[in-house]
Structure 1
Amino acid sequence: LHMNTLTGILFLISLVFIFKFFFTFIQDIIAQRITRDLYRTVSSRIIRGWANADYRLLYLQTSTGYFMNILASVLWTFLGAFQNYGGVLVSLIFITVYLGFSVLLDWRITLSAVGAGMVVFILFRRFMTLTKQYSLRVVKEDERLQGGLVEFMQFYKYLKSTSRISTTGQYLEDIIHRATHLRFKIAIIGGFLANLPESLAVILVSLLLYVEIAFFGKEFSLIAVLILLFYRTFMRVVTLQSSWQKFLSGSGALKVIPEALEKIAKLKEQGGIIKKDKLDNAIRFHNVSFSYDTKLILSSISMEFKKNTVVALVGASGVGKSTIVDLVSGILKPTTGEIMFDRIPYQNLDVSWLRQHIGYVTQEITMFNGTIADNISFWDDRPKEDVMRRVEEQCRKAYCTDFIERLPFRYDTMVGDRGINLSVGQRQRVAIARELYRGPDIIVFDEATSALDTESEQYIQKSLDAIKGTKTIILIAHRLSTIKNADYLYVIDQGHVLEEGTFKNLYENRNSKFHQMSVSQQI
């Protein structure tokens, strides 16, 4: 086959475009599959790593918006950058193929055209560097925006009530302004690089081919094919440049995602492997101290929580009561001292298993935007009849049945965002029913009645009385009236166990701190 014949030229053109069709189609399929699998893999690693992270390290070393920004924005940018990088590789392959055919036709003209193209590429390198810098700044601004939006909605009532919502809104608007301005700059650079190089390339190629025809007498048929190949080559160069620019615009994500995966690996919670069926005797603290950096929270405390007893922790706010509970659940680790689950050191226990046996009812009630039944069963996937039978049983123990039965949709009633459709007392009783549904050995009530009216508090007290003797219950309370039926009390003061004993013994000791607290509350 002679390349200067019409038949050879037509065959060459057909061959090039058949190759282009099959290669592009296969490349699209492969790219989409890789993108899908990569998103699944990376997002799963982030979510699982987040779930398995050490609580203390997680909140000390990351912000609220950090992982949200990664999953909602940065990961998609990362995948887009990956796809654009694939586009760069594909363009390089096409350019190589086109130039290979061009070399077969006339190597001298081809080399001249390549040289002209390199000049154009070098001229625009500065713009690509700017795009990369802007991309990194966009990622940081997006992280601030995600965190700010979460806090804006989380603390909306406070911000609205204190007329600080405008200030917070302006802070968010400033972030949006900076981020959009950076994106605008990236878009301008992208538009410039996408359009100008093609015009320059056409001018350079036209001049080159004019010189070859006018001064070197090349045949027009050869030049026509070279024009086609050069045009396709330079179009691919423009595509390559555009893909590379888009790749650089997402390069901030290429830096952030590996850093996030590395950070998650470092945040992984450490623990043992022992899984014990249930608490047989007691959880014991032996000379346990805990510090946040240099601030001492607990100092050499020793206490025990015996099986199926009610133990109360009392004291002023900020003296370390909630920290004790966090140590019980394994959320925090002692700085010094030892905690034993029966005779097993906590560090030898599988902490994930341990928490499956602990229920937690807090003052800040956790409610999900779903039905009452879903909030109690936590979307249990067992047969609905079994789930509802168990839900109703636990609601009776938590004294929820009376108000739920009066609702139009009963257990299918939507509680709304953070349970807004229920009163505080109703939410608290639903929260208790949820913990009872799990069937834990240990239930913690952390200031669970402090925000309730007298009637709601009485319902909570009835719930406690109903499960007393069947669970190990840890109570944290300011209202001493709620701990009268506790089996044992610890009075915590400035991180120390100041007093301990039964309610009766501590109350009757007129010199005790507990007696003074009781008198101040008119008990």
Structure 2
Amino acid sequence: MKEKQSGLKPFISLILSTKFPKWPLIIGLIGSIITMLVGLSIPLLTRELVNGFSVESLSVTLIVVIFAVFILQAVVDGVSTYLLAAVGQRIVAKLREMMWFKLIRLPVSYFDKHASGESVSRVVNDTGIVKDLISQHFPQFITGIITIIGAIVILIIMDWKMTILMLIAVPVTFAIMMPLGSRMAKVSKGMQDETATFTGEIQQTLSETRLMKSSTAEKVEEKKGVKGINNLFSYGLKEARIFAFIGPSIYTIMMLVIVAIIGYGGIRVANGSMSTGSLVAFLLYLFQIIYPITSFAMFFTELQKAKGATERIIEILEIEEEPGQGGIDKDIANEAVHVDNISFAYNEEESIIENVSFVAEPGEMIAFAGPSGGGKTTLFGLLERYYEPTDGEIRIGKMPINRLSLASWRSQIGYVSQESAMMAGTIRDNLTYGLRNAENISDNELWKVAEMAYADKFIKTFSKGLDTEVGERGVKLSGGQRQRINIARAFLRDPKILMLDEATASLDSQSEHAVQEALARLMKGRTTFIIAHRLSTIVDADNIIFIEKGEVTGSGSHEQLIETHELYRKFAEQQLK
């Protein structure tokens, strides 16, 4: 495991990795500095205006110059603000792109351990924190420092005694702000973690609304939601307490300084050692210094947030992607699938698959039967390469499948699961989902595969046909309709290998009959792997592999297992009366 870097180095490295355009940032910062320098000239011009103040002696030229300075400052400030915001948006867009590309290439095991809402929070919220620091708080911090330095230099030249009086407040201010930095870092980190957790829980609950309502679990979810909201509220109060201490403290210090400067400056004006215009200019410079100092508290707070967000972004970016992003392309048609002594465990204590071996010749139907929890679906996950075997090897022909690219392997597999997975969008979108040439597939081709899957009749009953919206997870369609769309999608992919995971388990008898006919068409000429609890769907399989507790306890045809395998015989007696 990589040792975590500390300080600003990871943050800077992450920002540089986005390869953002440097010139807009440079021009934006220069514009901010110009705005600041122009702003520094305003008190001096005001001094001249005040010192010569009378209706008769008003200088039109001076008024025009002051007005022009204000206009110049506004224009330059607007341009620089836009450029800096554009750079910030470009960086956050690139970060989100990097994280999204990474997330969709992470192994399934990552999502087994992390809530999807948590990952969403990292992509949206954490990158937003980084953006705000870069486009808003960082430029304010840089220009604030320059403004303070420039104003102090001018003030020393104008009146060093009053400047020293004012500078007494600086160490006092930093003495208040610095100890609160580490405290704010902890609070911000906790806030971000809690936000990610809360986002994950909300997303999970809303995505399973029907389960919640059918289980009358509204009260349970209310309590969970209130707990998450209260946790965020608690962190919000901690942040508020820190800000409530920083803001009034700095304000009080600055007001004391202003009162002291006005009092001392008034005495100087009264005895003639200082002009009224100089006092006004001094106060204007003081105000220019106060704002950056008070904004520093916000900058350091956002910096701590950004450092925490950076840690989480880097954690995701450093996770290893699914093995097989590279690899070779290979046509697997007419190739046998060899599974040699494969084993798999999610962790060292719990073995799921133990020394499973079999061969699937081209065009054969291989069925997996056995008690629930025996490892059948996990075996499918290994064949699909969602997981890598801890021992043993899976080959296509003579080549280990892990030498093939994931894209090449999975594009030649048709997978139909009992969940009837669908994406929000139209029927057309779901039929062509994942196909690179989706835009070039004609309606005639789509209707042909729909007909082969016995889906064309119900699709034609919809007024929009192929462009009918199916809703989130396909909720606007029945289970049988969703399953036939999935089968039509498999027809369109023309897979070499077909994997059916209890594809008719959750259907009524009428839907099951239609789906079984569609599957029979789909299986012709293809190597097919089937998981089925209903033995009636696999009695014609070339080889039935019986799995119990992750081990193969019998294999052969239906007739052979009836004679040789006691548990299979019991299953058959119960189901095939």
For residues 55 and 134 of structure 1, the distance between their equivalents in structure 2, rounded to whole angstroms, comes to 32
Of 259, 282, 287 in structure 2, the residue corresponding to residue 226 of structure 1 is 282
Letter of the 1:241 partner, please give it. A
Confirm whether residue 157 of structure 1 aligns to residue 210 of structure 2: yes
Q: CA deviation at 1:165?
A: 2.6
Q: CA deviation at 1:451?
A: 1.0
1:517 corresponds to: 571
Distance 1:379 1:266, change over 3 A: closer
Confirm whether residue 235 of structure 1 aligns to residue 291 of structure 2: yes
Q: CA deviation at 1:302?
A: 0.8
- Report which stretch shifted further, 148-157 or 281-290: 148-157
Does the Cα contact within 8 Å between 1:53 and 1:268 map onto a contact in 2? Answer: yes
Does the Cα contact within 8 Å between 2:449 and 2:491 map onto a contact in 1? Answer: yes
Q: CA deviation at 1:117?
A: 2.9
SS at match of 1:461: helix
**Which sections of structure 1, spanning at least 5 residues, go unmatched?**
none
Does the Cα contact within 8 Å between 1:510 and 1:516 map onto a contact in 2? Answer: no
Q: CA deviation at 1:384?
A: 6.1
For residues 190 and 374 of structure 2, the distance between their equivalents in structure 1, rounded to whole angstroms, comes to 42
2:341 corresponds to: 287
For residues 98 and 362 of structure 1, the distance between their equivalents in structure 2, rounded to whole angstroms, comes to 70
Confirm whether residue 452 of structure 1 aligns to residue 504 of structure 2: no
2:123 corresponds to: 71
1:494 corresponds to: 549
CA deviation profile, 1:95-124 (whole Å, cap 9, x unmatched) = 222222223323343233223233233234
For residues 503 and 570 of structure 2, the distance between their equivalents in structure 1, rounded to whole angstroms, comes to 23
Q: CA deviation at 1:217?
A: 5.4
Distance 1:357 1:257, change over 3 A: farther
For residues 21 and 104 of structure 1, the distance between their equivalents in structure 2, rounded to whole angstroms, comes to 27
2:198 corresponds to: 145
Of 82, 89, 103 in structure 2, the residue corresponding to residue 29 of structure 1 is 82
Does the Cα contact within 8 Å between 1:49 and 1:265 map onto a contact in 2? Answer: no
For residues 441 and 351 of structure 2, the distance between their equivalents in structure 1, rounded to whole angstroms, comes to 48
Of 49, 55, 76 in structure 1, the residue corresponding to residue 102 of structure 2 is 49
Does the Cα contact within 8 Å between 1:299 and 1:496 map onto a contact in 2? Answer: yes
- Report which stretch shifted further, 447-456 or 184-193: 184-193
1:462 corresponds to: 517
CA deviation profile, 1:377-436 (whole Å, cap 9, x unmatched) = 228685868332221111111111122222333222222232222221111111111222
SS at match of 1:28: helix
Letter of the 1:47 partner, please give it. W
Distance 1:57 1:423, change over 3 A: closer
| 1:102-501 aligned within 5 A | 102-187=155-240, 189-190=242-243, 193-194=246-247, 197-211=250-264, 214=267, 218-220=273-275, 221-245=277-301, 247=302, 251-271=304-324, 273-293=327-347, 294-378=349-433, 386-501=441-556
Does the Cα contact within 8 Å between 1:139 and 1:253 map onto a contact in 2? Answer: no
Q: CA RMSD in A?
A: 2.9
Letter of the 1:312 partner, please give it. A
Confirm whether residue 96 of structure 1 aligns to residue 149 of structure 2: yes
Distance 1:395 1:212, change over 3 A: same
Does the Cα contact within 8 Å between 1:39 and 1:79 map onto a contact in 2? Answer: yes
For residues 535 and 153 of structure 2, the distance between their equivalents in structure 1, rounded to whole angstroms, comes to 87
Distance 1:16 1:501, change over 3 A: same
For residues 285 and 490 of structure 1, the distance between their equivalents in structure 2, rounded to whole angstroms, comes to 12
- Report which stretch shifted further, 104-113 or 224-233: 104-113
For residues 259 and 162 of structure 1, the distance between their equivalents in structure 2, rounded to whole angstroms, comes to 35
For residues 448 and 427 of structure 1, the distance between their equivalents in structure 2, rounded to whole angstroms, comes to 11
Does the Cα contact within 8 Å between 1:156 and 1:165 map onto a contact in 2? Answer: no
Letter of the 2:344 partner, please give it. F
- Report which stretch shifted further, 277-286 or 445-454: 277-286
Letter of the 2:118 partner, please give it. Y
CA deviation profile, 1:176-220 (whole Å, cap 9, x unmatched) = 122123224424543664465345314313313533552685321
Letter of the 1:402 partner, please give it. K
**Which sections of structure 2, spanning at least 5 residues, go unmatched?**
1-43, 52-61
Distance 1:189 1:520, change over 3 A: same
Letter of the 2:568 partner, please give it. F
Q: TM-score, normalised by structure 2?
A: 0.81
Q: CA deviation at 1:493?
A: 1.8
Letter of the 2:121 partner, please give it. N
- Report which stretch shifted further, 406-415 or 374-383: 374-383
Query: How many residues are treated as equivalent by the alignment?
Result: 516
- Report which stretch shifted further, 258-267 or 313-322: 258-267
- Report which stretch shifted further, 281-290 or 147-156: 147-156
Does the Cα contact within 8 Å between 2:127 and 2:309 map onto a contact in 1? Answer: no
For residues 441 and 153 of structure 1, the distance between their equivalents in structure 2, rounded to whole angstroms, comes to 37
CA deviation profile, 1:230-264 (whole Å, cap 9, x unmatched) = 2222233223334444x15xx33531333332334
Does the Cα contact within 8 Å between 1:45 and 1:261 map onto a contact in 2? Answer: no
For residues 511 and 277 of structure 1, the distance between their equivalents in structure 2, rounded to whole angstroms, comes to 37
Distance 1:446 1:104, change over 3 A: same
SS at match of 1:298: strand
Q: TM-score, normalised by structure 1?
A: 0.89
For residues 135 and 96 of structure 1, the distance between their equivalents in structure 2, rounded to whole angstroms, comes to 30
For residues 197 and 49 of structure 2, the distance between their equivalents in structure 1, rounded to whole angstroms, comes to 63
Q: Quote the sequence identity (%).
A: 23
CA deviation profile, 1:58-87 (whole Å, cap 9, x unmatched) = 423x33332011123232223223332332
Distance 1:440 1:93, change over 3 A: farther
- Report which stretch shifted further, 201-210 or 489-498: 201-210
Q: CA deviation at 1:506?
A: 3.0
Letter of the 2:131 partner, please give it. L
Q: CA deviation at 1:167?
A: 1.4
Distance 1:520 1:377, change over 3 A: same
Q: CA deviation at 1:142?
A: 1.0
Does the Cα contact within 8 Å between 2:336 and 2:361 map onto a contact in 1? Answer: yes
For residues 52 and 395 of structure 1, the distance between their equivalents in structure 2, rounded to whole angstroms, comes to 30
Distance 1:510 1:166, change over 3 A: same
